[in-house]
Structure 1
Amino acid sequence: MHDLAAPHPLRSHYPARVALGRRPLGIIGSALTARRNVLELIPEIATRQPMVSGRTGKRWHMVMDPGALRIVLKDRVEDYPKSVITKSLLEPAIGQSLFVAEGAHWRWQRRAAAPAFAQRHIEALTPVMTAAAEASARRLAAASGPVDIFAETVAATFEVISDVTFSGDEGFQRDAVHQAIDSYIAGAARLSILDIIGLPGWVPRPGRLRSGNDLKRMKQVADDAIRARARSGPREVPDLLDLLRAGEDPETHRAMSIPELRDNLLTFIVAGHETTALTLAWALYLLAFDPQVQDRAAIEARTVLGARAATAQDVAQLTYIRQIIDESLRMYPPAAFLSRTSLIHDRLGGREVHPGETIMLPIYALHRHHLLWNDPDRFDPDRFAPGVTRDRFAFLPFGAGPRICIGASFAIQEAVIILATLLARLRFELTERQPEPRMILTLRPQGGVWLTVKLR
């Protein structure tokens, strides 16, 4: 269905977007394109049709139809597990944690981890978000000349996730973990031609072999922090490590071992800072692109906050800033391209699907689909105004169904707190350097988001 927000006059140009494919690429072309930018594998026609199929090695199907997405992500989730490509990209870094595990192994971990992400625990940890927002605003206010906003949002969100995970333990080496994550995403997380032609995950991918030392160090840092906490005991305000150590599956009473704790904590660290940093960086770029929207958001932030930083109690009143976050997630979803493998013979979007075929979920194309969104390449936060309705499976920044992102509420709250704090004090303006949306593991701004920052 179309969203119900009334369109305003078209701008002379649109914010940065991906040049989607207009011709078949073949195996070699697909592999080279995927290493540069996975989203360029999406054909332009995918933004105008409910489903596109093809063959590059194995047969694949791109699904943009909300009804078919409901089947894959909710109704028959067990029949559509994560693809070999997804597992081979992520397992070296995060093992069989929540993001990768399937079936019973996923279910018990999800049940054990769920209480840690209850709203009361998220709100108890929000002072860390407020402190990070305050520190970020101070750094940006002191900047001279254009600033790489993405580098700043990464710093702010990594500060949040490391503090809510390990309470700022001195034994947790933030720089070592941060460096390992960056190194892995830059090299090992790129698709290989071996992925494109469908070779099994046990066949070595050279780029992932080279990342071994960084990953070993990252895991050792996390293991050391977990063992240190076992000796020192929980914090007065439990952090994520304490909550996961205390968690157990209510059905089996199984608790996480040290390796399971470590893999899940690293999953939350990687996902918990990268995705929120991206959301904030793209949001600030979009606000610089549209000064009128930025001014409206700044008025809301200053009305609610005055001169102070935002807190959890302010989030419910920052409704327009939440709309901006949602529209940023629509236009630049961090998890912009997902894939599954069909285990069954089925029909999706009117097409026949066979066991072993790859089911691609191009969230970027879904969020810019002309049958689902009015003028989809236009930045318009009023798409998410109160009362506007759409199909639940037309907007999937955090997935859907039983495997929806466990940290979605945490991420939204953090993004609103930081964005509102910045907008109440600072104005952001475009420079000549245009960000290029490029997906390796997440949808990043190639070259950064360079904006001029001024005091309001």
Structure 2
Amino acid sequence: MSGQPTPDAPVSPLPVHAALATQPLGFFGSLRAARSNLLEILPELAVKQPMVSGKTGVRWHMVMDPTALRRILLEKVEEYPKSVVTKNLLRPAIGESLFVAEGAHWRWQRRAAAPAFSARNIGALAPVMTAAAEASADRIATAGPRAVNVYDEMVRATFEVISDVTLSGERHFDRAAMHRAIDNYIDVAGRVSLFDIAGMPGWVPRPGRVFSGNALKKMKSVADEAIGQRRQAKQPPDLLDLLIAGTDPETQRQMRGPEIRDNLLTFIVAGHETTALTLSWALYLLSFAPEQQERAAEEARSQLGDRAATADDVASMPFIRAVVDEALRLYPPAGIISRTAQQADTLCGREVRPGDTVMVPIYALHRNRLLWDNPDAFDPDRFMGGAPVDRYAYLPFGDGPRICIGAGFALQEAVIILATLLARFRFEAVAGKTPKPVLIITTRPEGGVWLTAHPRP
């Protein structure tokens, strides 16, 4: 695979990366890191070894070995459900939706929701993505050749997409209020607490999550109102309509109001943030590597000319897709996922006991020196048809039966928006404004991604 290392491979200039721990953090050090930047709990050994284990309140294991990851995510998925910490963080906001539910309750929801994310339906939603790309380019052009926080701009663009494809036609839908509520919840409640680190049961209240009630109420009230209005409306179907109509083909079960709401909020929260982050990091990486940017821009301009990209263009722009893939490798939106072992097992020759936390540090997996050449370097050619990448060495959307249901949606949107912007602008880094990767729930660029956008002639 393009990941197989060579001892004398040349080292290219490296984009910004997280500082990993070089010594044990201890209980309180782990708590501080987990609350400020989860990437800092990762030991440097995680990019050099297939597995690292330890004990900080609870026994934990970090797994970076593709064979072991296949076992966790595919072969024994029922024995490695989402961790208690993950559920404690997200259940107050999105209930027992697809992201949190387990077992039979998850399976019937997945079957009911799957048609909404078919290739046909994703393609039908592409005009919304094209319109958002066009609007974003217009805003950047109007701002003139000055420094722009493209992270804020990408959040706006992708939130326009997800709100239009889930809540189209809702005249009274307050996008700004919904987005503020989401941000407030993540900031207040999305941080690991002392109780989580100590392994205390989920029914013990976490103070931060108790005080996030107003944000939760706002999110849920907007969703409930939209669902109630939609049941009486007649319009071309969008994701909300498809969700309401979705039926599990095995049980004929349909989602009820709370289940629709919780899944709708899951799609809104995950469906814009992850793509906005991918686009922001991709633009940063291209500004960091001007020669790669020019290559991507030439591909976009030769395909698009002066128009915005559409779904029909995506397959004709493989290098831009490779840029997206490489951005997802270096800065995966879900930098760490975790599971709780239900049965005794052995991974990489080490004992795993029931109740152990098993982490998949995707950020470290994607930079592991046993799996990738020059792992910290920005090199989109890794994904341009050379030696194949091991499926379980690259997990930006997870894998197995619980692979992200919206992966195709996100990739199509990212290529459409990125190609449209690159065809029209040359992005240049702003001195002294290097973003810092910080993981709370997602891998955000602390301080934003400040670039100067120069219109192309």
Q: Deviations over 1:210-257 (max 9, x none)?
A: 111111111011000000011113x22x10011011111111111000
- Percent identity of the aligned residues? 65
Structure 2 equivalent of residue 220 of structure 1: 221
Structure 2 equivalent of residue 107 of structure 1: 107
Structure 1 equivalent of residue 52 of structure 2: 52
Structure 2 equivalent of residue 395 of structure 1: 394
Structure 2 equivalent of residue 386 of structure 1: 385
Structure 1 residue identity aligned to 2:106: W
Partner Cα distance (1:374, 1:127) in 2: 38
TM-score normalised by structure 1 residue count: 0.98
| C-alpha contact 1:5 1:388 (8 A) present in aligned 2 | no
Structure 2 equivalent of residue 330 of structure 1: 329
Partner Cα distance (1:96, 1:50) in 2: 33
Structure 1 residue identity aligned to 2:408: S
Structure 1 equivalent of residue 161 of structure 2: 160
Q: Secondary structure at the match of 2:426?
A: strand
| C-alpha contact 2:330 2:363 (8 A) present in aligned 1 | yes
Q: Deviations over 1:376-399 (max 9, x none)?
A: 000000000124302110000000
Partner Cα distance (2:171, 2:9) in 1: 52
Partner Cα distance (1:266, 1:131) in 2: 23
Partner Cα distance (2:18, 2:125) in 1: 36
Partner Cα distance (2:10, 2:68) in 1: 33
Structure 2 equivalent of residue 91 of structure 1: 91
| C-alpha contact 1:162 1:168 (8 A) present in aligned 2 | no
| C-alpha contact 2:5 2:369 (8 A) present in aligned 1 | no
Q: Secondary structure at the match of 1:54?
A: strand
Q: Deviations over 1:160-210 (max 9, x none)?
A: 000000114213221221011110111210111111111111111111111
Partner Cα distance (2:375, 2:391) in 1: 17
Partner Cα distance (2:333, 2:327) in 1: 10
Structure 1's consecutive aligned runs of 4 or more residues displaced over 6 angstroms after TM superposition are 4-8
Partner Cα distance (1:124, 1:197) in 2: 47
| C-alpha contact 2:2 2:382 (8 A) present in aligned 1 | no
Structure 2 equivalent of residue 38 of structure 1: 38
| C-alpha contact 2:80 2:341 (8 A) present in aligned 1 | yes
Structure 2 equivalent of residue 303 of structure 1: 302
Structure 2 equivalent of residue 266 of structure 1: 265
Partner Cα distance (2:70, 2:4) in 1: 22
Structure 2 residue identity aligned to 1:81: P
Partner Cα distance (2:184, 2:171) in 1: 23
**1:14 Cα deviation (Å)?**
1.2
TM-score normalised by structure 2 residue count: 0.97
Structure 2 equivalent of residue 182 of structure 1: 183
| C-alpha contact 1:3 1:373 (8 A) present in aligned 2 | yes
The number of residues matched between the two structures is 453
Partner Cα distance (1:4, 1:52) in 2: 21
Q: Secondary structure at the match of 1:232?
A: coil
Structure 2 equivalent of residue 443 of structure 1: 443
| C-alpha contact 1:342 1:354 (8 A) present in aligned 2 | yes
Partner Cα distance (1:287, 1:10) in 2: 18
Partner Cα distance (2:292, 2:270) in 1: 28
**1:35 Cα deviation (Å)?**
0.6
Structure 1 residue identity aligned to 2:134: E
Matches within 5 A, 1:221-236: 221-233=222-234, 235-236=235-236
Partner Cα distance (1:77, 1:173) in 2: 39
| C-alpha contact 2:335 2:442 (8 A) present in aligned 1 | yes
Partner Cα distance (1:77, 1:8) in 2: 37
Structure 1 residue identity aligned to 2:41: L
**1:4 Cα deviation (Å)?**
6.5
**1:142 Cα deviation (Å)?**
1.8
- Segment of structure 1 superposing worse, 200-209 or 318-327: 200-209
CA 1:60–1:434 in 2, change beyond 3 Å: closer, same or farther?
Answer: same
Matches within 5 A, 1:338-417: 338-417=337-416
Q: Deviations over 1:79-130 (max 9, x none)?
A: 0000110000001111100000000000000000000001110111110000
Partner Cα distance (2:407, 2:347) in 1: 27
Partner Cα distance (1:387, 1:243) in 2: 38
| C-alpha contact 1:5 1:383 (8 A) present in aligned 2 | no
Q: Secondary structure at the match of 2:231?
A: helix
**1:5 Cα deviation (Å)?**
10
Q: Secondary structure at the match of 2:232?
A: helix
Structure 2 equivalent of residue 62 of structure 1: 62
Structure 1 equivalent of residue 148 of structure 2: 147
- Segment of structure 1 superposing worse, 291-300 or 179-188: 179-188
Q: Secondary structure at the match of 1:452?
A: strand
Indicate yes or no: 2:163 matched with 1:169: no
Structure 2 equivalent of residue 239 of structure 1: 238
CA 1:2–1:132 in 2, change beyond 3 Å: closer, same or farther?
Answer: closer
| C-alpha contact 2:9 2:373 (8 A) present in aligned 1 | no
| C-alpha contact 2:324 2:414 (8 A) present in aligned 1 | yes
Structure 1 equivalent of residue 122 of structure 2: 122
Structure 2 equivalent of residue 313 of structure 1: 312
| C-alpha contact 2:5 2:372 (8 A) present in aligned 1 | no
Partner Cα distance (1:421, 1:147) in 2: 17
Partner Cα distance (1:173, 1:259) in 2: 20
Structure 2 residue identity aligned to 1:147: V
- Segment of structure 1 superposing worse, 159-168 or 275-284: 159-168
Q: Secondary structure at the match of 1:97?
A: coil
**1:8 Cα deviation (Å)?**
7.9
Partner Cα distance (1:168, 1:300) in 2: 35
Q: Secondary structure at the match of 1:340?
A: strand
| C-alpha contact 2:154 2:276 (8 A) present in aligned 1 | yes
**1:68 Cα deviation (Å)?**
0.5
| C-alpha contact 2:188 2:208 (8 A) present in aligned 1 | yes
